[in-house]
Amino acid sequence: MAKNTSSPGRRFMKLAGMTASIATKTVSSSIRNLTADDEQKLAAKTKLFQDIGVQIADTLGEMKGAVMKVGQIASQYKDIFPPEVAKAIAKLQRQAPAVPFSAIQQQVEKELGQPLLTIFQSFEQQPFAAASIGQVHRAVLPNGQEVVVKVQYPGVDEACESDLKQVRLALRLMGVIKIDKKLQDKLFAEIQDSLSDELNYEIEAQNLEVFKTFHEQLDDKIIIPTVYKNYSSRRILTLSLERGESIETASTWPIEIRNEIGRRLIRALGQEIFYLKRFHCDPHPGNFAFREDGSVIIYDFGGVKTLNIEIIEHFKHLVQAARQQDVAAIENHLDALHSLSEKGLFPQALYLEWLEVLLRPLTTQYDFAQNSAHHDGVILVKKSLKYWDVFKPSPDTLMVNRTISGHYWNLIHLKVDDNLNDLFEELVPH
């Protein structure tokens, strides 16, 4: 691994140093604010959050492995952080630098028990993708099948628990996590589980097979790579090479193809949530590729969220209540989903304005490139700001909301212009 993470002691010291520095900054800021007015306090708080966010991102970004992954997962839950912090840690989503090929070769041979060129006919030394816990290489099997091989960095899984504890301590000292202790515990338990799952490629292999079987029965243009079990292990995942074009390329295709792809993305997500009860929850554009026949290829099933039936039912009824503009029912379901601090505080008129904005992309002829719902939503945020504490992030729905939002932006990138109401009705009938 990279030099700065080769020693658990050095990694711990770097994280502990970050935590101590954050604590000092937070205390100093509090002391300076004793005699400040409200405007000065707000400016100081914003500056503090910006500084701390940059420090967290810089520290975690230097460190390969589980700790950087923790930062990435935290950035997926950015609803729980102030915008200044969320913006800083969002950069952890970017690609990490690759590790030397010798370490990769050693890991493959250790996991699969044979010399690399006995296992594979050929194996490209240069990765075409590198992330926080592993990197991906193209290779060819002895039978000539082109594959991609996902290789976990050596030693990355060993520091997972301590890394998570340090990051949580740093965030707690900042005092910026916007949920109570009980929900914090639930959220970090979920992050721990998510991290453990992502570090176990056997779980990702199972996810790939489940989702492949599910989608094949419903739509043969949802393409999910095939797992080659004999060339896979807990830390190695070998998959069929499925070629497609990027979202940038697909955005230049005729509107009919773009609309077909947009519908396919939304239908697949809805089917996963409401029927499979687990869904691919990393809607980053890099996890999808597209073909001119309207096919969608989905990659990276390390991030999968399973939902219980009760949550799905509340979510479904919430959507139905929203379409009927039934504010009382909306609040009941938000409360059941732990997304509401208290009923009856948010004005009904604002609810109705928000409902129109939020439902517009799914119920009307909508030009995603114009992005009118987002622009109108920004205006509404200003009107709603004083009531904002009424709503709170819920671990039950954060990833659903995040994934839906991510696909909304994917449809913007694709410049979809369509009326999705029939699709919406199909997935969540009135």
Q: Could you report the per-residue pLDDT of 60-94, keeping only the tens digit for each?
A: 666 655 566 666 666 566 566 666 666 666 666 55
More confident residue, 193 or 116: 116
Q: H or E stretch including 380?
A: helix 372-384
Q: Residue 172 belongs to what domain range?
A: 3-94+160-180
**Of residues 282, 300, 396, 418, which has the active-site annotation?**
282
- Backbone torsions φ then ψ of 366, nearest 5 degrees: -130, 125
Pairwise CA distance, residues 29 & 21, whole Å: 12
Which residues, at least 6 apart from 427, have a Cβ–Cβ distance to it below 8 Å? Answer: 266, 267, 270, 271, 274
Percent of the chain with pLDDT over 70: 82
Average pLDDT on 208-214 reads 97
* 254 and 401 together in one domain: yes
Instruction: Tell whether 140 is covered by a domain.
Output: yes
Q: Work out the pLDDT band at 42, boundaries 50, 70, 90.
A: confident
Is there a single domain that holds both residue 300 and residue 222? no
Question: Looking at residues 297-324, what average pLDDT do you find?
Answer: 93
Q: Where does the pLDDT of residue 189 fall: very low under 50, low under 70, confident under 90, or very high at 90 and above? A: confident
**Domain presence at residue 190:** no
Respond yes or no: is residue 418 known to be catalytic: no
- pLDDT, position 1: 39
The H or E element containing residue 383 is helix 372-384
Final residue before a domain boundary, out of 242, 269, 295 = 242
Q: To the nearest whole number, what is the mean pLDDT of the chain?
A: 85
On whether both 264 and 282 belong to a single domain, the answer is yes
CA 34 to chain centre: 39
Query: Among 155-159, 352-356, 397-401, where is mean pLDDT lowest?
Result: 155-159
Q: Once rounded to an integer, what is the mean pLDDT over residues 335-364?
A: 94
Q: Is 166 helix (H, G, I), strand (E, B) or coil?
A: helix
pLDDT higher than 70, residue 266? yes
pTM for this one? 0.81
Q: Are residues 357 and 381 in the same domain?
A: yes
State whether 352 and 256 are in the same domain: yes
Helix, strand and coil in the chain, % to nearest 5 = 60, 10, 30
Q: Is residue 192 part of a domain?
A: no
One domain for residues 304 and 369: yes
**pLDDT surpassing 80 at residue 396:** no
Higher model confidence: residue 53 or residue 428?
Answer: 428
- Which has more confidence, 261 or 42? 261
Nearest CA-CA partner of 259 in 364, 359, 367: 367
Q: According to the model, what pLDDT value does residue 115 have?
A: 97
226-240, 309-323, 352-366, 388-402: segment of lowest average pLDDT: 388-402
Which pLDDT value is given to residue 2? 41
What pLDDT band is residue 174 in, cutting at 50, 70 and 90?
low
Residue 335 has pLDDT above 80, yes or no: yes
Residue 187 — pLDDT band, cuts 50, 70, 90?
A: confident
CA-to-CA dists, residue 281 to 268, 326, 402, angstroms: 12, 29, 8
Cα 372 from Cα 213, distance rounded (Å): 37
Residues 6+ away with beta carbon under 8 Å from 48: 25, 26, 29
Q: Domain tally for the chain?
A: 3
Look up residue 258 and give its two tokens.
């773009």
Which of 57-71, 194-208, 250-264, 278-292 shows the lowest mean pLDDT across its residues? 57-71
